Amino acid sequence: MDDIAGQYKRPVVTVGNFDGVHMGHQKIFSEVVRRARNIDGTAIVMTFDPHPAVFTNPQLKMKFLTPFEIKTQLIENSEVDVLICIVFNKEFASLAPEQFIRDVLVQQLGVAHVIVGHGFRFGRGKKGTTESFRRLSKRFGFGFNVVRNVRRGGLVVSSSRIRELLLRGDIDQTNKLLERPYFIDGIVVKGKDRGGKCLGIPTANLCCADEFLPCGGVYAVRARTDNDLFEGVANVGLNPTFGDNELSCEAHIFDYNGDLVGNTLRVYFIKRLRDEMTFASVDALKTQIHKDIAQAKGLLKRFNRVYVNI
């Protein structure tokens, strides 16, 4: 991070990973913007790339709700003024809590106020807490406050909870906590053409190795390519009827006859229709897919088409 002291007027800053940019994160961003406007300051979000978990535990090969590019788009849509990304490397990871506050927030940024979420941890080994942050803010002369957790259904809204919901296939609750439809991006690749040749139902096969896929099953979806928005159904899973063993996502887009291979397709998960199933025959599978399509069309008519501008 370069020395940017004096570049921003009265910086009001929040710091975090913000994976998913869910309603809890949005509450923090709103408070940052509100306070910055009250003091004629600059609303700033500070995040990291790579995610600290990737740096500290690369063997885990973690997948995130929002890959970095999507996360930055969502944050930029939250009305904050500035997004600062810090390269999370060995040098930065070694900063003690006091060093991070003194060297980065005070000396380089000239912070006026810091806002974080409940349970925020920072500094080398995550030794810094909100209480130590509060003490250090008084020493270095800037304001500090903690935004209380957002709760839904008696539970705290968090990135880890959303992952759990996705792994259960609970798209309804996931989308409520995100305040938007959960989506993934994938490059459309040439598949085995079973949908077209065997079933008469062509599908777009997505290469989405870095995406956090929901629980296997069939979903009513909307899909965006370039500026065009379509409706469809998507299957996430192993295609057990055909004996596949690699997790995949393939989408059938209603009323689309073009060739999507090589394009990026953004798939918004709207409603889960059923579990993935093994069928006795291709004809039985085909019959069920037509039922899925009819059900999805009925459901999608009842869902609003409003999306975040991404």
- Give the active site residues: 250
Q: How far is CA 189 from CA 40, 105, 123, 193, 310, in A?
A: 49, 44, 42, 11, 22
User: How wide is the angle at C-alpha 116 spanned by C-alphas 113 and 120, nearest 5°?
Assistant: 135
User: What's the rounded Cα separation, in Å, for the pair 11 and 109?
Assistant: 7
Cβ neighbours around 159 below 10 Å, total: 19
Q: What are phi and psi of 207, to 5 degrees?
A: -95, 110
Give the bridge partners for 187, in sequence order. Answer: 207, 264
DSSP state for residue 126 in the 8-state scheme: G
Give the bridge partners for 184, in sequence order. Answer: 267
User: What's the rounded Cα separation, in Å, for the pair 288 and 291?
Assistant: 5
